[in-house]
Chain A
Amino acid sequence: MKESANVPSSDARGSGHSNKNAFFGRLAVYGFLLFVALVRPASAQESPYIVTYDHYLEEPGNLEIEYFSTFGTQRGGNDFDAYWVEFEYGAKAWWTTEFYLDGQTTFNDSTIFTGFRWENRFRLLQREHFVNPVLYIEYEQINEADKIIKEVEGHDVEADQAVSNALARRTLDHELEIKLLLSKTFKGWNIAVNPLATKNLLPSDPWEFGYAIGASRPLALKASASQCNFCPENFIAGIELYGGLGDTQDSSLHDTSHYLAPAMAWNLPSGWTLRVSPGFGLNDNSHRLLLRWGLSREFSGFGEVVRALLGGRR
């Protein structure tokens, strides 16, 4: 087919797009450098959980930037590496808000952006109790090629993700997800239980249910007196169990997937946290392996810096 003379060639269009992307790429890098110069790193005491949530929120005014990756095996399709960037901001001591950007690479297929999520967690009780509830509300705008498997719900099964990216990305989902985060820390052990309900905002779609359960403990409960990267109290070991529990149209557990995942977090005094978690599918509907890792860093005073930039007092 001939190209019309009035229509720019695909090369010219591609070049314009590249220039625009390069400009915004540079802007992002400069913005990040400015941000690092203005805010201070803060020490974190992060849990090793990647799917489960405990009841601890981000400290007010702090921003945590996190990158997570999930390598998954895929029977009947291509293995994949799904990843997300997470911006977690402590709005109040009782409210944490997070913004996610998701993407994935399916080997022998393509790399695509799959959508965004906006998550909010609200602490319901002011003090510590026998069980501490936190309300979690999230809006997701993701396409069906999303594979980060941040939660498992309804009748999610491995075969759902064998579809090619070109086909899966055509369907865009708007989902509301609600969780009740129940958590308790006792004698160094944290136990967390997260029942969840998700609804695709299409009226015809059912509510889907799922769960995540986690337990974790630092390798040492007392801190050593000296600064150290490899002190046992800097390491927190844990285990997660998560899966789907059917939906309002079919509450049976057939065609549900479940995972068991040991996890480890290494909290460095410099403010970095490294997490690693190999997850193993517990039935034939589950991916055999979900190998996850994540790197995060917490920055204090972010809220004050933005406030100062907007003209307020720092």
Chain B
Amino acid sequence: MKNARGIRPSMILLTVGYLVVAVYVTFAHSDDSGTMKHDHLHHHHFAEFAKVPEKARVRLNPLESDTDAVAAGKKLFAQHCAECHGSTAEGGRKAPNLRADEVQNATPGEIFWILTNGVVRRGMPVWSKLPEPQRWQIVSYLKSLAPAEKSP
């Protein structure tokens, strides 16, 4: 008779096997973020700005004059965005530099739209689960960043 209270070896093996197969399948047909050249990543992500509808592009940040917005946005960025974009938004292997000119020159409405809709095919999730004021706080933080230093 099986010991129902014990950890079943088959269940451990099944769980580990499942996770390994899930990750393998994920990466097997990927183009992929792991080998994607930085410029390629950069180009594809920033191309999304061209898709922002005009109505969204001209939206103003309602928290523009909120003195806490940048600090709150920095906290939210660390919690939800830094994992891919780097702790100071300098970019990572999976996601682009947000200090780049394309972002710093974008309107608050454009950044808000990208944050809301994500770039799902390129791996950026939609962030509409964050309430609208929190997304504007992140926009405030991103617009407060100094542009990236240009390489010589």
Q: Which residues of A are at the interface with B, using a C-beta cutoff of 8 A? A: 14, 17-18, 20-21, 24-25, 27-28, 31, 40, 42-43, 45, 47, 54, 56-57, 59-61, 63, 87, 89-94, 97, 99, 101, 110-113, 116, 118, 123, 126-128, 185, 187-188, 190, 218, 221-227, 233, 269, 300-304, 306-307, 310, 312-313
Contacts and interface: CB of A to CB of B under 8 A. Distances in A.
Contact of A225 (B2, B3, B23, B75): B75
Contacts of B134: 221-223, 233
B116 A128 contact: yes
Given A118-B18, A310-B24, A313-B35, A93 B6 contact: no
A127 B120 contact: yes
Nearest to B4: A112
A14 B6 CA distance: 12
**8 tightest A-B CB contacts, nearest first:** A43-B79, A21-B6, A225-B71, A221-B131, A306-B23, A222-B133, A127-B117, A24-B9
Interface string B120-142: 11111110111111100100000
15 contacts: A21-B9, A24-B9, A45-B80, A87-B18, A91-B23, A93-B124, A99-B18, A116-B14, A123-B120, A127-B120, A185-B129, A222-B63, A222-B133, A225-B68, A227-B75
B83 A93 contact: no
Nearest to B130: A45
Contacts of B72: 222-225
The interface centre, meaning the residue of B94, B128, B130 with most chain A CB atoms within 10 A of its CB, is B128
A302 B15 CA distance: 15
Contact of B15 (A99, A111, A226, A300): A99
Given A90-B125, A128-B116, 7 more contacts: A24-B8, A59-B83, A91-B25, A93-B123, A99-B19, A221-B132, A225-B68
A269 B75 CA distance: 10
